[in-house]
Amino acid sequence: MSKFRVALSGDFKKPDGSAAFPDFDLGPLDQNPVVEYAYIQTNGVITASDLEGYDALILLIPRIEPESFPSDGRLAVIARFGVGYDTVNVQACTDHDCALVITPDGVRRPVAVSIITFMLALTGKLMPKDQITRQGPEGWARRNEHMGVGLVDRTLGQLGIGNIGAEVFRLAKPFGMRFIAHDPYADPKVAQELGVRLVGLEELFRQADVLSVSCPLNDETHHIVNAERLALMKPGAYLINTSRGPVVDEKALTKVLQERRIGGAGLDVFEQEPSPKGNPLYKLDNVLLTPHALCWTDQCFAGIGAADVKAVFDVMHGRVPTGIVNREVVERPAWREKLKRYQAQFGA
């Protein structure tokens, strides 16, 4: 092994060969003489032949399944570009002695900012006010029909108070809101430090004036926001989802919005992505929609990319990277042996 070989999923490049995300700085890989990297082209699921002979993979959209792992057993780390990993078979990573790494530090502030953006736009009635302004004097005459909602003493609820949920509360502190959250895995000390009252799931839906969803998608959270829980919300409450689309029952939410049983919603994620042309949500004026990209900024992508590259270099130098999803892999002898080999060849 003369080089540490890194694969990047082919969707990091546009069809014309240019970088899909120029703010993802590959300079550290270019400048390291012991690193060799290449883009692998794939449709859907990455195959074992795609990854043969590679030590690391920086992954964007394609899926990782058991058949993605080559028989050479060389692959040691998959660095996912972001924090979602519902496209990756985590057990298969562990079974093949490969660490799955995500980048919570790269997305914590950008996603939290996108949630605050939705909250301010929805409560300030930004979309209808923009629309009536464009109508000239006739629209201006109706501005009293779109009174905004003040935030002082309103209740901000978080479904999930992990990395992103906690940051939302930090950013929202100057607004003078009450904070509640539901998270069975919450650290009570963190909640106390942030001034957050931990509540039951139903109480969260009943009390929140703005309810933001910041939980991972898994069997436990699929459709956790359903018709029954949406029915508990206040008539003027707003729902925000920036996590994963299937956490929310989209049909149930659409019905609630069509019947104007809540104040509105802000959605950056959908059950089907890309969301189809005929999605009935598009016809509604009480929902703000963005294409799973509201947090996308130059700083966000630079931070995610830097975190992925750092994880790759950590493994190359024989160190355990941060952000490992399948923590059990750290104790597997075969994975530890990979780190020892890398440390011996490429140094610490």
Could you tell me the CA-to-CA distances from 146 to 142, 150, 239, 257 in Å, in that order? 8, 13, 19, 17
Closest CA to 334 of 80, 89, 101, 75: 75
Task: Tell me how far apart the alpha carbons of residues 266 and 248 are, in angstroms, rounded to a whole number.
Answer: 12
Q: Among candidates 234, 282, 241, which has minimal Cα distance to 258?
A: 282
Could you confirm whether 261 is annotated as catalytic? no
- Which one from 67, 145, 273, 328 is the annotated catalytic residue? 273
Catalytic annotation, pick one of 74, 96, 109, 244: 244
* Residue type at 222 in one-letter notation: H
The CA distance from 177 to 157, in Å, is 10
Per the annotation, the verdict on 317 as an active-site residue is no
- What are the Cα distances from residue 85, in Å, to 13, 104, 114, 119, 329? 21, 12, 20, 26, 16
**Is residue 182 packed enough to be buried (19+ CB in 10 Å), middle (13-18) or exposed (0-12)?**
buried
CB burial of 38-49 (b: ≥16 within 10 Å; e: otherwise) equals: eebebeeebbee
Q: Which residues make beta-bridge pairs with 84?
A: none
How far is the C-alpha of 38 from the C-alpha of 33, rounded, in Å? 14
Q: Which of 292, 317, 319, 336 is catalytic?
A: 292
Q: Is 311 in contact with 322 (CB distance < 8 Å)?
A: yes
178 is an active site residue: no
What whole-number distance in Å separates Cα of residue 12 and Cα of residue 38?
11
Distance CA 198, CA 50 (A): 46
Which residues are known catalytic residues?
244, 273, 292
